[in-house]
Amino acid sequence: MLNNNEKAHHNGQSSRLPRKRFYRARAHSNPLSDSHFPIPISPSEVDYAQHFPHFFPPEMCDQDKCDAPIPKVRFADIGCGFGGLLVSLSTLFPDALMIGMELRDKVSEYVKERILALRASNPGQYENISVVRTNSMKYIPNYFEKGQLSKMFFLFPDPHFKEKNHRRRVISIQLLDEYAYALEVGGIIYTITDVEELGDWMRTCLENHPLFEAIPEEELEADPVVELLTSATEEGQKVARNGGQTFKAIFRRIAFKE
């Protein structure tokens, strides 16, 4: 059984999707623990060729010959889980490079395998998505230059219910400074949760932050991405199955006003 998954390492020779039950992990991971995974020292050190080989063929490495602008990651899914959103977004925006960030080791491995399998069984597709195992609460500036992203996603983040653990929440006034740094002016931050208290918390943080403003309902209705927040991920599908309510807070990154 596992042999098929091993074969997937070799340039996606196997197109068999990885089985989730070999990648089970606890839903919770401690964002405060010091990392034992490699981190790029700066955005220029991110290995794009490894993540998006289709977009960075070997000829491109010779920079003198390259006149075309170098594509950069534009969408980031923070806490991408099993990769559901990335897979849905990939076909919706085939020219945009997207990256998922996941702290849990096994889960990020699963997403890697899933992407490789999808690329093998759908030639030419899914080349624009990838995953990296990292702690996005500490290392966003290591991966993204100022204003690089046009969309950031925070889907069903860990609620950290206890008050003493609120500081571990991925959305906070302090961390929004860094997310605002990575997002371009006009970029959009999408958050959704099925926990009402967390939904209020995230909405309040965004409302109180001077670099974000709420997006009016009419615009949200026209945005094809909004619907994916509930339908595209495993977590979202589970909530829908159980008939639960979801709470969204979708804001735009704006320039500072005195």
Partner 1 sequence: MEEVQLGEEDIDKATEVAPALISVHPFEKSVVVALGSELRVFDLEGDCSISLSDDSGGPGHSDSIRAICFDASGRLFASAGDDKLVKIWMADSWCCIRIVCADKRVSAVAISHDGSFVVFADKFGVVWVVSLDGDGESQALCAKKPMPILGHYCSIITTLKFSPDGRFVASADRDFKIRVTIFPRDPLKGAHEIQSFCLGHTDFVSCLAFVCPSDYPLGFLLSGSGDSTVRLWDFSSGCLLATCEALESNETDKGNHPAVTDISSSADGALIVVSIQSFHGVMLLNCNFSAKSLSVAKVVSMKGSYVPTSLCVSSLAKHLWTVMGASNQPSSGTTQLARVRVCSISRQDGEDDLLVLEDNDTPGGEKLLSKLQGSSDVTEIESMLVSTTSALNSAIHNLLTKKQYSSEKREFRKKNRNDRKQKQ
Nearer to partner 1, 180 or 249 (CB): 180
CB of 175 to partner 1, least distance (A): 6
CB 180 within 8 A of CB 209: yes
Contacts with partner 1 by CB under 8 A lie at: 31-32, 34, 36, 41-43, 137-138, 141-142, 146, 173-178, 180-181, 209-211, 256, 258
Write down the catalytic residue from 158, 177, 194, 200: 158
Which CB atom, from 116 or from 140, has the smaller least distance to partner 1? Answer: 140
DSSP readout, the chain?
-HHHHHHTTTTT---PPPPGGGS---S---TTSPP-S---SSGGGS-HHHH-TTTS-GGGG-TTT--SPPP-EEEEEET-TTSHHHHHHHHHSTTSEEEEEE--HHHHHHHHHHHHHHHHHSTTSSTTEEEEE--HHHHHHHH--TT-EEEEEEES-----SGGGGGG-S--HHHHHHHHHHEEEEEEEEEEES-HHHHHHHHHHHHHSTTEEEPPHHHHHH-HHHHHHHHSSHHHHHHHHTT---EEEEEEE-----
Nearest approach, Cβ of residue 126 and partner 1 (Å): 30
Taking the least distance from each CB to partner 1, the nearer of 114 and 253 is 253
Indicate the residue among 11 and 174 with the shorter CB distance to partner 1. Answer: 174
Least distance CB 233 / partner 1 (angstroms): 25
Q: Which CB atom, from 41 or from 222, has the smaller least distance to partner 1?
A: 41
Minimal distance in Å, beta carbon 127 to partner 1? 28
**Residue 194: active-site member:** no
Q: Are 159 and 202 in contact (CB under 8 A)?
A: no
Shortest CB 246 distance to partner 1, Å:
27
Catalytic residues: 158
